Amino acid sequence: MPLDPEVFRHHPGLAAQIRDPEDCVFRHMEPADHDPRMRELGFAEDWRFDDATRNRMLDETLKGRCDRDLWVFGYGSLMWNPGFYFSEVRRARVEGLHRSFCLVDRMGARGDASAPGLMAALDLGGSVEGLAFRIPACNVRCEADYVWKREMIAPGYIPVFVPAETAQGPVEVLSFRADHAVEMMDPTLDHATKVRYIATGRGFLGTSREYLENVVAHCRCMKIEDPELEQLMHDVTAFPALPGNCPTQT
């Protein structure tokens, strides 16, 4: 079901930038659907949270909040492909967290063990601008479940509620902060490694470069300035032409 144009009332230009939730692959997949591929990649059977654990974590996070609207913060792929229905979207700024390309993907989504991919996560410090999506109270438990199956399918993030500023007033947003106890989160990567991972990583969701291109495009659409994003985009674009670089062939 296409999104009501009214949800884009604050930012009409986003109507053409954000995918219909029904077109999101995650909305039509259960966590167990990923198991065969993960076995092929050599991961243990317990690579993800079991359904009971994941549902318990969601219930604990939403405790006392299911009777009110839920705002979800998007800083990466949620900005163009949220995969859940919402009734309003606003540009939002969060203090104390920043967009960091530190999520190393060796799990087959946008990279693997032979050619890791790289995506963004929220890390401590600084500030970050993105999009805040409002899920109405009547749909919170149902739509939040789609978010959870995607963001909390396995260890990687810590769900936190943080204040966000929008032009229409302050809101509290659910965000997912990088869990440094998990191997896939590596905030120590140097710039050259980030560029290489993004330029060569690919998997069943597409390439890491496509991911970066989408983040950059949506930040530009919203006039969000992020110098690191722009530098990464510049250097990833130049990567195949640099001496000694051999892009992956498929």
Nearest partner of 17 among 224, 223, 217, judged by Cα:
217
Asked about 151 being catalytic, the answer comes back as yes
* Of 2, 7, 47, 33, nearest in space to 20 by CA: 2
Q: What is the largest CA-CA distance in the chain?
A: 58
CB 133 within 8 A of CB 84: yes
Residue with tokens 């540009």: 91
∠ CA 193-195-197, rounded to 5°: 70
3-state helix, strand, coil in the chain (%, to 5): 40, 30, 35
One-letter-per-residue 3-state SS of 118-169: EEEEEEEEEEEEEEEEEECHHHHHHHHHHHHHHHCCCCCEEEEEEEEECCCC
Active-site annotation holder among 6, 143, 151, 228? 151
Distance, CA of 214 to CA of 233 (rounded, Å): 10
User: Cα separation of 219 and 129, whole Å?
Assistant: 8
| Alpha-carbon dihedral sign for residues 62, 68, 72, 73 | negative
Q: Which residues are annotated as catalytic?
A: 151
